[in-house]
Amino acid sequence: MIKKRYILNFPPESGDKAFTYHLVKDYDIRINILKAEVFPGKRGSLLLELQGKKENIEKGVEYIVSHKIKCEPLDKRIYFQEEKCIDCGNCTAVCFAGALTMNKTNWKLNFDKNKCVVCELCIPACPLKLFKIDFN
Amino acid sequence: MSKIKTYEEINQKLKAGKAVVLTAEEVSKMAQEASPEEIVEKVDVVTTATFGAMCSSGAIINFGHSTPPIRMEKIRLNGVPCYEGLAAVDSYIGATACDPDNPTYGGAHVIQDLLEGKDIVLEAWGKGTDCYPRKHIKTKININTINELILFNPRNAYQNYNVAVNTTKKMIHTYMGTLLPNLRNATYSTSGELSPLLNDPEFKTIGIGTRIFLGGTQGFVVWPGTQFHTTRPKNELGVPVTNAATIAVMGNLKEMSPEYIQAAYYEKYGVSMFVGIGIPIPVLNVEMAKRVSVNNSQIQSSVLDYGTVGTPKLGEVSYEELRSGSIKIGGKKIRTAPVASLSKARKIANELKEWLETGNFEISKPVQMFPQNTSLKSLKETEADHD
């Protein structure tokens, strides 16, 4: 079993299909919806955490993509200019998903993209503006 | 009789490469097993450091005279307003200054751009006088074209600072970072046992003329900082438990490094500047050995509610608790986060240690000690506000 997070972007014509139902029913994938933005008659975005067998997740992603839905692993949509980070810790104050933490030994910032739920609070919290997250 | 050392003796040992220099964290660890008498025997200098946002920062700039010359009476650097009342071509740019139409770029960013060697647009206006006939100039400057570039910070390196929380139902944006509603986080800002003024809380070795690490080069303490407050509540070791004294510092910005001077923008608050400061504390006697031995469990800070007018105090916590990741206020466990960089502060303390060990940095006896028993006045409102 593996766990992966994807951002799905739906074109207007794909908004009425029950994709999550098929992911569960046909590919035996456990779904956790972390974030959703739906604009009726227009486009929509979903942040999904998929849990299941590796091959099932791959097939499930193929199924989604075959319906013209853009599907990207979450970590590819998070931009963090790590080389400019001063390890001040301001971003850790707002990150309740535990993606941003201070290493208690060297007090440097740890960023675990896999834990990010795209709450986006780190973006304004960083005084150096080093985070960018492209959800759409 | 316990040992007493002089500045001269320590400097001779530093020059000869025979002095023992430890960081404040190292000496705090040593103190778990060694007595103050043993520490004064073994250790000559302790390095302290901090790297945090220090709003009260800025730079004095001399632009040089143009032909024909101008008496600059309104000055903008990359659109950021600078002080125009310092003679014809001198100015002071405050770190927090900004153009209201472009609030995310301010004086700190201009200072950082200068440090990084970038060109800055200087635009200035004057009324035109017999000796300064020009009325307007627009040109580009950079760190090499200007004469002096002097960092002058009237209030830095706060002796302790508050822990910030928010009891209200709304998220607030402060200079202590983003404070979530309903006490969901707490932020703190000093480097605790590594913090300069917490290792010499009564200013026995720090005063006017103290040579320090400032922004990556040698600088000086030039005055007690503004809001210098020495009568704040103290713990049983004499360490203030809230924001107390400060120092005014000065140094040659041209020699500084962007690694230790960093512009910052705080959401819905404004521009500020991270400044790296390191102060060497000579272990002159047993009393100083005791002072530098202080550890995070012996330093407390006041928890203030930044969401409520008057910032009421909700309790006191130690730096050991703050660093553990959570504190308890009124029985509630609250997650903690720093807003100043301990990793950078450690780097500064170690760099200063190396300067001292290699004989490249002399400790200096203050030419004037700081005043005692000072407190703060608040601003009284004498005119009724009819708005």
Which parts of chain A sit beneath pLDDT 50? none
> What pLDDT is recorded for position B385?
66
> What pLDDT is recorded for position B1?
56
> Which stretch of DSSP H or E encloses residue B14?
helix B7-15
The whole-angstrom separation of Cα B295 and Cα B291 is 10
Name residue, tokens 């097993």. B33
Q: Which two tokens stand for residue B284?
A: 């002159």
Convert the pLDDT of each residue in B148-192 to its tens digit: 999 999 999 999 999 999 999 999 999 999 999 999 999 999 999
User: How high is the mean pLDDT of chain B?
Assistant: 96
- Asked whether the beta carbons of residue B178 and residue A106 sit closer than 8 angstroms, the reply is no
Q: To probe the interface with B, which of A81, A82, A90 has the most B CB atoms within 10 Å?
A: A90
Q: What is the mean pLDDT of residues B32-49?
A: 97
Known catalytic membership, residue B131: yes
3-state secondary structure B100-159: CCCCCCEHHHHHHHHHCCCCEEEEEECCCCCCCCECEEEEEECCCCCCCEEEEEEEECCC
Q: B377: Cβ–Cβ under 8 A, 6 or more apart, which residues?
A: none
Convert the pLDDT of each residue in B261-280 to its tens digit: 999 999 999 999 999 999 99
Which of A102, A121, A124 lies closest to B338 in CB terms? A102
Which region, left, alpha or beta, applies to residue B64 given φ > 0 means left and ψ of -120 to 50 means alpha? Answer: left
The gap between the terminal CA atoms of chain A, to the nearest Å, is: 28
* Closest Cα in chain A, distance from residue B188 (Å): 10
The whole-angstrom separation of Cα B186 and Cα B316 is 12
Q: Measured between CB atoms, does B272 come within 8 Å of chain A?
A: yes
- Distance from CA of residue A32 to its chain's centroid? 11
**Which residue ranges make up each domain of chain B?**
7-54+153-357, 64-146
In CATH, which superfamily holds the domain spanning A2-75? ACT domain (3.30.70.260)
Q: Judge contact between B298 and B292, C-beta under 8 A.
A: no
> What pLDDT is recorded for position A119?
87
> What pLDDT is recorded for position A118?
84
Q: To probe the interface with B, which of A81, A88, A119 has the most B CB atoms within 10 Å?
A: A88
Name residue, tokens 């200063």. B352
Catalytic residue among B55, B82, B98, B131: B131
> What pLDDT is recorded for position B387?
59
Say which range, A39-48, B5-14, B238-247, B362-371, has the weakest mean pLDDT.
A39-48
Report the CATH number of the A78-133 domain: 3.30.70.20
Smallest CA–CA distance from B320 into chain A, residue: A104
- Contacts with A128 from chain B: Cβ below 8 Å: 262, 264-265
Smallest CA–CA distance from B177 into chain A, residue: A90
Quote the Cα angle for A8-A5-A123, to 5°.
85
Q: What b/e readout covers B151-189, taking b as 16+ CB neighbours within 10 angstroms?
A: bbbbbbbbbbbbbbbbbeeebbebbbbbbbeebbbbbbb
Convert the pLDDT of each residue in B97-144 to its tens digit: 999 999 999 999 999 999 999 999 999 999 999 999 999 999 999 999
> What pLDDT is recorded for position A1?
85
Q: Judge contact between B47 and B21, C-beta under 8 A.
A: yes
> What pLDDT is recorded for position A136?
59
> What pLDDT is recorded for position A46?
87
The whole-angstrom separation of Cα A123 and Cα A94 is 10
Facing residues of B153 across strands?
Answer: B249
* Closest Cα in chain A, distance from residue B20 (Å): 24
| Burial (0-12, 13-18, 19+ Cβ within 10 Å), A21 | exposed
Facing residues of B265 across strands?
Answer: B271
- Asked whether the beta carbons of residue A127 and residue B265 sit closer than 8 angstroms, the reply is yes
Pairing of strands B300-305, B326-329: unpaired
Q: What is the mean pLDDT of residues B68-93?
A: 97
Convert the pLDDT of each residue in B182-225 to its tens digit: 999 999 999 999 999 999 999 999 999 999 999 999 999 999 99
Convert the pLDDT of each residue in B352-386 to its tens digit: 999 999 999 999 999 999 999 999 999 998 987 66
Convert the pLDDT of each residue in A75-91 to its tens digit: 777 899 999 999 999 99
Does residue B255 register a pLDDT over 80?
A: yes
- Asked whether the beta carbons of residue B178 and residue A87 sit closer than 8 angstroms, the reply is no
* Closest Cα in chain A, distance from residue B266 (Å): 5
Give the CA distances from residue B4 to residues A70, B8, B44, B47, B202, in Å, rounded to whole numbers and listed in that order.
Answer: 73, 12, 11, 19, 18
* Closest Cα in chain A, distance from residue B291 (Å): 24
Which of A106, A124, A129 lies closest to B178 in CB terms? A124
